[in-house]
Amino acid sequence: MGLDGNSKAGITGTINQKKSETEVPNLTGKVHLLPCCIKYDGPSAVSHYFKPKLTGVEVEEMKVEEAHFRGRKLQGATIDIPKGYSGFVIGKKSPGKRKASDMSEKNSNTWEITAKFENITYWNHDSLPSKVDAFVRSLHWLSVAEALLGLVKSYYSQSLHFSCC
């Protein structure tokens, strides 16, 4: 995204945050990141078939869980969303729900929050979960980004102060 808030790829959108966090379902403990692509988008009785269990094994301070998906054994761990952040599920807002003022080309991609979560269970199929897994490492970017933002803010606040005469 460019500094002006516009995407360089030409894709723009809006996320409707008007619903309070108490108005959307809390999916904490029910969000899973699977090591596969599922080409289906609709309702399913997932909890009837997908039943993760704690193994009693702990690796790198992470409690290992086990489940099976389509006959394949999965091993995973539940990771909390870092403090100060929240996880949200968003869905594209249908044109019938939009106001006329939101129908411009600029706001043609309007999304709304449909659920929230405070943790996510990620799964591997060939290895135990580890702190060096790509998903776990990706969460480290949040603290790096905060540190960089602090440096940038500090730099600009110092460079804007000057005295004359």
Place of tokens 């894709």: 11
Place of tokens 């602090």: 150
Phi, psi of 131 (to 5 degrees): -70, -10
Model pLDDT for residues 22-60, shown as the tens digit of each residue: 789 999 999 999 999 999 988 899 889 999 999 999 999
Model pLDDT for residues 103-142, shown as the tens digit of each residue: 555 556 889 999 999 999 999 998 999 999 999 999 999 9
| Residues 117/67, Cβ–Cβ less than 8 Å | no
| Residues 89/80, Cβ–Cβ less than 8 Å | no
- Taking the model in full, what pTM does it have? 0.74
Domains defined for the chain, CATH in brackets = 14-129 (2.40.128.680)
Q: Encoding tokens for residue 84?
A: 């100060």
